[in-house]
Structure 1
């Protein structure tokens, strides 16, 4: 069975900075990651070094006990943390996640809209560090926190 390669935004970074790519995604001029549709999350706001995603977990994202699976929190945080880093990546460079961690603070019921905000704490020539949190869109309750370290690389090399 042949598999199709997933779309890659890496070639676009040869012609634009990370923040320009993210802004193109929010306008619909560049494709979002396929994982976003699978997990029902979307890029919401983009600023240099800071992004937010919105998401609503569905019953298919729940564990056998009816709470949203921890992996859903991980996808949302990894996406926001990585995009916060990407917002500072210059044209001709890209990033990959070296490490990330997630800390859940309370269970989340499916159907609850959340906002995940991530901010870069350090961005250097080869590494960046970001932290983020997931809060209820209506009540502001904290559901999870996370952090990442990313490697920043040249597209050629």
Structure 2
């Protein structure tokens, strides 16, 4: 089966490289650049962005559950990878991009379907070639901790 082509409104590499990572993430927040397609699948949105921190807001639905009816661990992983790697993106200089090298997820409690959460990624280290971020998923109202994570990203300078 052939891969689907990307919609024409997605930024190309030249657009990405012309901005700092923080400016790129802010452009997504303001709607000047589209949210990544995967965010539609996970039904998450950029809640806030600052240098070294990204917060994603989401509410798991039935389609995010496993065969037992609980929110799938992959959904937790997707949200944590997103907030942590995007936090790394906020500290990448103009002309650079990142990719996740590895991430770890620790599930603490089950998220009830329909519960709005905030997934927060925060920079722990940013260097020339790597960035490390920590993440948490918490209930948006009560602050209850549902999961934690850590990620290492490769920062690649193209220019």
TM over 0.5: same fold?
A: yes
Superposed displacement of residue 27, structure 1: 0.7
Q: Give the number of aligned pairs.
A: 156
Aligned partners of 2:11 and 2:33 also within 8 Å:
no
Superposed displacement of residue 64, structure 1: 1.5
Q: Distance in 2 between matches of 1:34 and 1:144?
A: 24
Aligned partners of 1:86 and 1:94 also within 8 Å:
yes
The answer for the alignment partner of 2:91 in structure 1 is 88
Mean Cα displacement is larger for which, 142-151 or 58-67? 58-67
The answer for the alignment partner of 2:129 in structure 1 is 126
Structure 1's unaligned 5+ residue stretches are: none
Superposed displacement of residue 117, structure 1: 0.7
Mean Cα displacement is larger for which, 10-19 or 125-134? 10-19
The answer for the alignment partner of 1:3 in structure 2 is 3
2:13 maps to 1:20: no
Q: Distance in 2 between matches of 1:8 and 1:145?
A: 30
2:82 maps to 1:59: no
TM-score, normalised via structure 1 length: 0.94
SS in 1 for 2:143: coil
2:34 maps to 1:31: yes
Q: Distance in 1 between matches of 2:79 and 2:40?
A: 12
The answer for the alignment partner of 1:141 in structure 2 is 144
2:44 maps to 1:41: yes
Q: Distance in 2 between matches of 1:13 and 1:155?
A: 11
Cα deviations by residue, 1:77-115 (Å, 9 ceiling, x for unpaired): 000001000000011000000010000001111110000
Which contiguous aligned blocks of 4+ residues in structure 1 show a shift greater than 2 angstroms?
A: 1-11
Q: Distance in 1 between matches of 2:35 and 2:65?
A: 23
Superposed displacement of residue 154, structure 1: 1.6
The answer for the alignment partner of 2:73 in structure 1 is 70
